[in-house]
């Protein structure tokens, strides 16, 4: 039990350090840095940052004593009947665990060594993924026993109580995934998995896999590992408290990514292999002459921002532009706009005049097309519609195209 707790603490500290990059961009200060990135909203911290910092410890106590036990009980009761009624199957020794974007994994040849024979899907990870891996799919409920569920629930209750009396209590809010973490950890440990495949980079799930004895982990890159900030024209990379030591192979998209992986992976016994995109670029839909073609690259956290920016572009340029929206593989929320061209395929992509992107891995491929202009807005500006709109205009992207 102690090793399970230590594994989880390692995992959340690892993820915490990676998230500091983005919190620094939001100018998050004081104890507020210990609030998980998924709960960090720029407007909230601008208005209430000092108040949150002042009440941080009462919030932590309230979380551990009241909210966490209720939330964990809810997860337990939600999973319990599914485990009871689901017919059981056997989990194979080589598996892919779907906890992130599966797109680049589907590009890997089945001839690769230790290629997984099963894809494990988890109820706590929801996706609108449009990519399918041609291997057997099995759900967590099909391979989980009642004993594991009850043991994990008791571990969680004990963990929250114990955490309050340690110097790690500042990380308490990160425990919102502890039930899912302990569940997956115990399941994989009991089944003595030989090889795990993940398309995660530097979150808690790669640390979980790294903490399993006698299990090799293969990582598949699904996005960019560093961050270029247009506001100060600098490239940023995260720092980590330790390196992952049990990574067998990493499938990267380019040579630059290998050096970035070495920031958090011990490369002594790790093999780097390449995975190439299978994106198919096609001509834009038929338009009148002198219409500027704009492609938005969607992101799960930027749907509202994109919707507002698209509305402003349409109202300003009216019939002079045509906008397409390529949805992120994990993006569930739709952009409601009758004039928008919705691109739901992750492989077939129309060639625009201008790409507006948060910094996707697909940007690199667009930059290789000479007539395409790629614009990346800053991460911390994903609520600043007027600022980003002005940047696009000031960069003369539209003027170059006679808009």
Q: What is the DSSP string of 315-364?
A: HHHGGGEEEEEE--TT--S----TT-EEE--SSEEE--SEEEESS-TTHH
pLDDT at 203: 87
CA angle, residues 238, 127, 144, in degrees to nearest 5:
95
pLDDT at 248: 93
pLDDT at 106: 85
Residue 18's nearest CA partner among 203, 146, 224 is: 203
223 in the Ramachandran plot: left (φ > 0), alpha (ψ -120 to 50) or beta? Answer: beta
- In order of 213, 265, 272, 274, 363, the CA distances from 257 in angstroms are 27, 12, 10, 10, 15
> Rounded CA gap, 241 and 124, in Å?
27
Helices (H) and strands (E) in the chain, counts: 12, 16
CA angle, residues 63, 66, 70, in degrees to nearest 5:
105
Cβ(379)–Cβ(25) below 8 Å: yes
> Rounded CA gap, 1 and 349, in Å?
48
Which residues, 6 or more positions from 149, have their beta carbon under 8 angstroms from its beta carbon?
Answer: 76, 79, 80, 83, 183
> Rounded CA gap, 373 and 353, in Å?
6
> Rounded CA gap, 366 and 324, in Å?
15
Cβ(43)–Cβ(20) below 8 Å: no
Cβ(320)–Cβ(287) below 8 Å: no
Helix (H) or strand (E) holding 196: strand 195-198
Cα 135 to chain centroid, rounded: 23
pLDDT at 38: 72
pLDDT at 361: 79
pTM of the model: 0.85
Look at strands 227-229 and 234-236 and give their pairing: antiparallel
Cβ(325)–Cβ(343) below 8 Å: yes
- In order of 15, 53, 251, 253, the CA distances from 107 in angstroms are 27, 45, 10, 11
**Per-residue tens of pLDDT for the chain, all 403 residues:** 556 889 999 999 999 998 888 777 777 778 888 888 777 666 676 677 788 888 999 999 999 999 999 999 999 999 999 999 999 999 999 999 998 888 888 888 888 888 999 999 998 887 655 556 678 999 999 999 999 999 999 999 888 888 888 889 999 999 999 999 999 999 999 999 999 999 988 889 999 999 998 899 999 988 778 777 777 777 778 888 899 999 999 999 888 889 889 999 998 889 999 888 788 889 998 877 778 899 999 988 788 899 999 999 998 888 888 999 998 877 777 888 778 899 887 778 899 999 999 888 788 788 778 788 889 888 778 888 999 998 887 766 665 555 5
Cβ(325)–Cβ(342) below 8 Å: yes
The number of CA neighbours under 13 Å toward the Cβ of 251 is 24
Cβ(109)–Cβ(133) below 8 Å: no
Helix (H) or strand (E) holding 57: helix 56-62
Cα 296 to chain centroid, rounded: 19
CA angle, residues 175, 156, 153, in degrees to nearest 5:
130
Q: Which residues of 4-16 are buried (b: 16+ CB within 10 A; e: fewer)?
A: bbebbbbbbbbbb
Q: Which residue, chain included where needed, has tokens 């990870």?
A: 125
pLDDT at 215: 93
Instruction: Read off the tokens for 52.
Output: 């949150």
DSSP SS3 for 116: coil
- Read off the DSSP letter of residue 265: B
Domains, the chain, ranges and CATH?
2-274 (no CATH), 280-401 (3.40.50.2000)
Residue 257's nearest CA partner among 375, 94, 95, 104 is: 104
pLDDT at 363: 83
- Read off the DSSP letter of residue 166: S
């Amino acid at each position: 039990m102690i090793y399970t707790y230590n594994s989880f603490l390692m995992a959340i500290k690892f993820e915490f350090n990676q998230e500091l990059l983005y919190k620094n961009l939001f100018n998050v200060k004081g104890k507020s840095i210990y609030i998980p990135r998924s709960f960090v909203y720029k407007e909230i911290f601008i208005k209430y940052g000092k108040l949150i910092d002042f009440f941080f410890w009462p919030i932590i106590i309230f979380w551990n004593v009241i909210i966490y036990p209720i939330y964990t009980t809810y997860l337990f009761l939600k999973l319990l009947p599914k485990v009871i009624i689901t017919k059981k199957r056997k989990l194979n020794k080589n598996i892919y665990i779907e906890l992130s974007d599966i797109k680049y994994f589907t590009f890997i040849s089945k001839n690769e060594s230790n290629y997984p024979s099963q894809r494990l899907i988890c109820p706590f990870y929801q996706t609108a993924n449009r990519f399918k891996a041609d291997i057997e799919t099995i759900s967590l409920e099909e391979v989980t026993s009642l004993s594991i569920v009850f043991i994990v629930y008791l571990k969680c209750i004990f963990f929250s109580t114990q955490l309050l009396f340690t110097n790690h209590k500042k990380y308490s809010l990160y425990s919102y995934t502890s039930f899912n973490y302990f569940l997956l950890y115990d399941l994989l440990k009991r089944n003595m998995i030989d090889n795990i495949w993940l398309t995660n980079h530097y979150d808690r799930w790669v640390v979980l896999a790294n903490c399993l004895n006698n299990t090799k982990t293969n990582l598949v890159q699904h996005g960019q590992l560093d961050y270029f900030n247009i506001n100060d024209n600098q490239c940023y990379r995260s720092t980590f408290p330790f390196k992952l030591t049990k990574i067998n192979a990493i499938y990267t998209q380019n040579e630059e990514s290998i050096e970035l992986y070495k920031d958090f992976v011990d490369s002594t016994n790790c093999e780097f292999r390449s995975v190439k995109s299978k994106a198919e670029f096609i001509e834009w839909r038929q338009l009148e002459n002198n219409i500027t073609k704009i492609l938005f690259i969607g992101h799960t956290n930027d749907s509202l921002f994109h919707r507002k920016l698209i509305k402003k572009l349409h109202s300003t340029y009216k019939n002079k532009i045509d906008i397409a929206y390529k949805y992120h593989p994990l993006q569930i929320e739709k952009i409601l706009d009758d004039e928008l061209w919705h691109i739901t395929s992750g492989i077939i992509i129309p060639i625009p005049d201008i790409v507006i992107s948060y910094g996707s891995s697909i940007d690199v491929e667009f930059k290789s097309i000479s007539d395409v202009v790629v614009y990346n807005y800053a991460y911390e500006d994903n609520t600043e519609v007027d600022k980003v709109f002005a940047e696009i205009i000031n960069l003369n992207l539209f003027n170059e195209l006679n808009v």
